[in-house]
A = this chain, B = another copy of it.
Amino acid sequence: MLFHVQMTVRLPHDMPADVADELKAREKAMAQSLQRDGTWRHLWRIAGRYANVSIFDVDSPAALHDVLSRLPLFPYMDIEVQALCRHASSIHDDDR
């Protein structure tokens, strides 16, 4: 099932650059791994903000929480979740 997730990142201004860089590198690696296995179906940057809009494809809300709470940037993100379902007017097979 699909969930719409909007994440806004708020790193503390006093976080050392190397700590931030290491966090971001691990976040990117995990994001790409989750994309490869089909969990993180879409990932877009919101223009002008340190934020993204994402579509996750998981088996349950528990699986979604498990994925999100293990992201390296999780402690520094405001996250909003909306459960999605197929729209009666959609013609796209993968807009499940």
Contacts and interface: CB of A to CB of B under 8 A. Distances in A.
Contacts of A53: 4, 82, 84
How many copies of this chain?
A: 10
- Band of interface residues on A: 35 or more
B3 A83 contact: yes
* Interface core residue of A11, A43, A82, A95 (most chain B CB under 10 Å): A82
A92 B45 contact: no
Contact of A83 (B32, B47, B87, B91): B47
A90 B62 CA distance: 14
A13 B19 CA distance: 13
Contact of A87 (B12, B52, B68, B82): B52
Interface string A30-69: 0110011000011111111110110100001110110011
A47 B84 contact: yes
B13 A76 contact: yes
Contacts of A3: 47-48, 61, 83
